Amino acid sequence: MQFTDHIGHVIELPKAPTRIISLVPSQTELLFSLGLDHEVVGLTKFCIHPEEKWRSVTRVGGTKNVNHQRIAELAPDLIIANKEENTKEDILHLQDQYPVWTSDIENLEDAFHMIRDVGELVGKAQEASTIADDIAASLQSIKGRCRGKVAYLIWENPKMLAGPKTFIHEMLNFCGWENAVDQERYPELTIEQLQDLQPDLIMLSSEPYPFKQKHLDEFMQLFPNSTVSLVDGEMFSWYGSRMMLTADYIRKEFLVD
């Protein structure tokens, strides 16, 4: 069968793949949520869910620096990548040798589309549809319920924030928050520029930079009129089956039922 990925690349799979490498943490977890097991032969060092698979399945480097020799040794019949998570150079190089399916995700509809597409790829279409439907239903319970202007930090030095044209931005808006940043993608801001935005809430993400209590204390001093929170970045940036946990997280951390 032929499949067209989210960047317009066409691959052909004569049968359901049995040697899959995933280069995207969110999509790696999705594969196991769909019921795959031994079919996943390779993942990245950042594919930490489920933990037992992270510990036991062969790692093929990071998302930005994949180990091509290790991939060759695993002889995959499908590689799953993502336009943002992986480099263009790696994707193009791998496309010359293997069937590579690449997602491109900016919003929830893209995420649901990806879940269903991956299900089709690996012979788990019904399971994927169920996961997508369950996530969509659960998220309705938090849609538009959060209030305030939010600055969402993803990096410490330099200070980088999530702006429009990112999945994080879409998740914030879906929940009802206004993004304090209007620069697209991941702009770098100084503390003074961030103070000028006067955010009601500052979110310090657990990933990709692991903000800790010391950063929370520092930002609370710098922004006495803002609420500052350490947040689980997976709940705002993972676009696979981990979204099944998002609604409960938002309700627990930010809403009073």
Model confidence at 257: pLDDT above 60: no
DSSP label at 176?
Answer: T
User: Do 124 and 186 share a structural domain?
Assistant: no
- Give the residue from 75, 110, 138 where a domain finishes: 138
Q: What is the pLDDT of residue 206?
A: 98
Model confidence at 256: pLDDT above 80: no
Which of 137, 97, 103 is CA-nearest to residue 30? Answer: 103
Q: How many domains are contained in the chain?
A: 2
User: Do 124 and 159 share a structural domain?
Assistant: no
- Give the residue from 118, 138, 158 where a domain finishes: 138
CATH number of the domain encompassing residue 93: 3.40.50.1980
Model confidence at 112: pLDDT above 70: yes
User: Do 169 and 82 share a structural domain?
Assistant: no
User: Do 181 and 130 share a structural domain?
Assistant: no
User: Do 245 and 156 share a structural domain?
Assistant: yes
Strand 10-12 with 2-4, pairing = antiparallel
Calculate the alpha carbon distances from 9 to 43, 83, 144 in Å: 21, 12, 35
Instruction: Tell me what the mean pLDDT of segment 108-129 comes to.
Output: 98
Question: For the whole model, what pTM was predicted?
Answer: 0.95
Backbone angles phi, psi at 41, to 5 degrees: -105, -10
DSSP label at 201?
Answer: E
Q: What is the DSSP string of 103-145?
A: E--SSHHHHHHHHHHHHHHTT-HHHHHHHHHHHHHHHTTTTT-
Q: What is the DSSP string of 2-47?
A: EEE-TTS-EEE-SS--SSEEE--HHHHHHHHHTT--TTEEEE-TT-
